[in-house]
Amino acid sequence: MKNRNKIKELLKKEAKAVEAIAEKLDENIDRALELILNCKGKIVVTGMGKTGIIGRKISATFASTGTPSIFLHPAEAIHGDLGMVDDNDVVMMISNSGNTTELIDIFPYFKGKNIPVICLTGNSQSTLGKLSDAVINIGVPKEFEPLGLVPMASTTTALAMGNALATIVLQEKKFCHDDFALLHPGGTIGKCLLLAVRDVMHQGEENPIISENATLKEAILEMTSKGLGCVSIINEKGLLTGIITDGDLRRIFQHYENPFHEKVHLLMTKDPKAIKPDTSGIEALEVMETYSITMIPVVDDDHKPIAMLHMHDLIRAGIVPEN
């Protein structure tokens, strides 16, 4: 309990530090956003040590939300990596002290090429603070740091400010779900946004379909042969009129002593939910969860069943984490 209370107190101090920098915002934040939004190249983020690690994350956030960005290690920059920076870029330096030697050493290169520099610092009157085109104060009172030596709350404020800048930029650029999906095709989020029902549905010979004039016995044989635990029921025009699932069978056998020769149109669930093949995987999942179903017919524009989708297909595709 004692350590738990200590953790709570430290987290409150970190939150207080973020709130404090929000109160310090001035016209420099507007200038920084203007530089980023008007950048014709990329955002080059740089910083040393723990701050550099935060800089890598900020750069990655910009890049993943539609703003080209790289991280430039200042110690490597003076040994050739400055060649990664183009004239159309904007540089973002992160330094709590504002006097980081490695950053000061590469600053003349940017000034000489008229490359704008945004500085996130805890000391606006520092060397970097005075030289930069936009200076954002992320300063943290010393008492927020447990020892006054280890960068903790200061890295929290730097990350929070970087996230805030990236968020405003993606909003201004109207970065949307589809854009995000295109940049994240390999992740679960990207799969949720990109994958469509047509990519995982069972069609052709795999699609269980039977006429509404067929018997329950024939329906069970069709369900068994296709192995999906359900069958779509169609009328004489080929339109979807019903469905029978494993769950329906259990209910049927509770009410009928020998239903095998009954016509399925008398036993089926009428007018079942259905989706189109272009429906996204995440939308299909929402429908299935809303109506507590694990199987759903896929229909064309004429409402003819062309495939069947099982929730397990979405699980295997990475849309739903398997428990």
pLDDT in tens, the chain (323 residues): 778 888 888 788 888 888 888 988 999 999 999 999 999 999 999 999 989 999 999 999 898 787 889 999 998 988 878 888 999 999 999 999 999 999 999 999 999 999 999 999 999 999 999 999 999 999 887 656 565 555 677 888 999 999 999 988 888 877 655 555 555 455 555 555 567 889 889 999 999 999 999 999 999 999 999 988 899 999 999 999 999 998 889 889 888 888 999 999 999 999 999 999 998 887 888 888 888 888 999 999 999 999 999 988 887 777 654 44
Report the pLDDT value the prediction gives residue 254, as an integer from 0 to 100. Answer: 87
Report the pLDDT value the prediction gives residue 322, as an integer from 0 to 100. Answer: 43
CA–CA dist 317, 310 (Å, integer) = 11
Instruction: Return the half-sphere exposure (C-beta side, CA atoms, 13 A cut-off) of residue 171.
Output: 7
Q: What pTM was computed for the model? A: 0.61
What is the four-CA torsion angle of 295, 300, 286, 266, rounded to 10 degrees? -40
The answer to whether the CB of 124 falls within 8 A of the CB of 75 is no
Produce one character per residue of 235-264: b if its CB has 16 or more CB atoms within 10 Å, e if not.
eeeeebbbbbbeebbeebeeeeeebeeeeb
Q: Could you tell me the domains of the chain?
A: 2-175 (3.40.50.10490), 197-316 (3.10.580.10)
CA–CA dist 91, 59 (Å, integer) = 11
CA 108 to chain CA centroid, Å, is 38
Secondary structure of residue 119 in the 3-state scheme: strand
Give the Cα-Cα-Cα angle 75, 78, 84 (nearest 5 degrees): 100
CA 198 to chain CA centroid, Å, is 22
What CA–CA distances, in Å, run from 226 to 23, 36, 251, 261?
Answer: 63, 56, 21, 21
